[in-house]
Structure 1
Amino acid sequence: MIESLYEKIRQRKITPQSGSYTNYLFDEGLDKILKKVGEEATEVVIAAKNDDEEELISEMADLTYHCLVLLAEKDISLEKLQAELEKREGKISRTDGRRDINLL
C-alpha cells in the first residue's frame, strides 16, 4: 500500500493533475510540505496523548502521506529509506543517560 501511494505521489509530481492536493503541495514548495509534516507530527502526538485510537490512526495516515510527499519532493526513493532501516536492524542504541535498547 505505501509503495503504491508513493508511486501515485511521484506520478503527480511528474504529471500534475489540476485540483490535486498533492500538486498543491508540490506547487507551494518545500516550506509548505515541511509545515504540513510538522503539523501532522504534532497532531499524532496529541492523538496519542488523548488515547484516541481512531484519531491516532487517522493522524498517522496523514503524517505518512505527507512524509511520502516530502520524500518525493526531495527525490528520495523508498528503496533508500528501506536500505537505511535495514542497516539499523538489530543494532543497539547506546546513548548516555538512556538504557540500551534494540532498535527493532
Structure 2
Amino acid sequence: MAFGILRENKVEGNKLAISTLFSLESTISQRKAELAAEQNGKPLWTKRLLLDNKLLCSKISEEADELCRTLEENEDKSRNASEMADVLYHTMILLANKDVKIEDVMQVLRQRFSQSGVEKKRGRISQG
C-alpha cells in the first residue's frame, strides 16, 4: 500500500515538472511572437535574450558555470535548484530561438533511456 502511494506521488511530481516546463515554453513562445509587435521602451529580459544570440549564449555559459560551482563549493540543495532553474530558463530560450520544442528534447531522452551506452556510441560512429 505504501508503495502505491509513493508511486502516485512520483507520477504527480512528474506531471507537475512536465507541466512547468511546458508552461515556461509557452511563455517564451509568447514573448517570441510578441517580438514582431511594436516595442514601447526597453524589451523584457526574455525578449532581449531572444533578440541577442551573443547575450543568450553568454548567459547560458554563466549560469552553467554557477551551477557547477554549487557542486564544487558544496552548496545546499536550494542553491543547486536555483542555479539549475536559471540554466533551464536560458537554454529553453535558445530552444525557442531554434524552434525546438521541449517535447523534441523529451523524445531524445526517452530514446536514450531505451538504449545502452554501447548502442548509443555505435549509432554515433555509424553516423559519423
Query: What is the TM-score with the length of structure 2 in the denominator?
Result: 0.67
Correspondent of 1:14 among 33, 45, 54: 33
**Which 4+ stretches in 1 moved above 2 angstroms?**
16-19
2:117 equivalent in structure 1 = 93
Correspondent of 1:49 among 53, 57, 72: 72
Give yes or no for contact 2:32–2:50 (8 Å, CA) kept in 1: yes
Tell me the distance in 1 between the aligned counterparts of 2:22 and 2:71: 26
Tell me the distance in 2 between the aligned counterparts of 1:79 and 1:56: 24
Long gaps (5+) in structure 1: 95-104
Q: How many correspondences in the alignment?
A: 93
Counting helix residues as a fraction of each chain, which structure ranks higher? 2
2:98 equivalent in structure 1 = 74
2:12 equivalent in structure 1 = none
Tell me the distance in 1 between the aligned counterparts of 2:46 and 2:23: 15
Tell me the distance in 1 between the aligned counterparts of 2:94 and 2:64: 13
Per-residue CA distance 1:45-70 (angstroms, 9 max, x = gap): 00122121222111000000001001
Tell me the distance in 1 between the aligned counterparts of 2:54 and 2:98: 12
Percent same amino acid at aligned positions? 31
1:102 equivalent in structure 2 = none
Deviation at 1:13?
0.5
The structure with more radius of gyration: 2
Q: State which drifts further: 18-27 or 33-42.
A: 18-27
Long gaps (5+) in structure 2: 1-19, 119-128
1:100 equivalent in structure 2 = none
Tell me the distance in 1 between the aligned counterparts of 2:78 and 2:101: 29
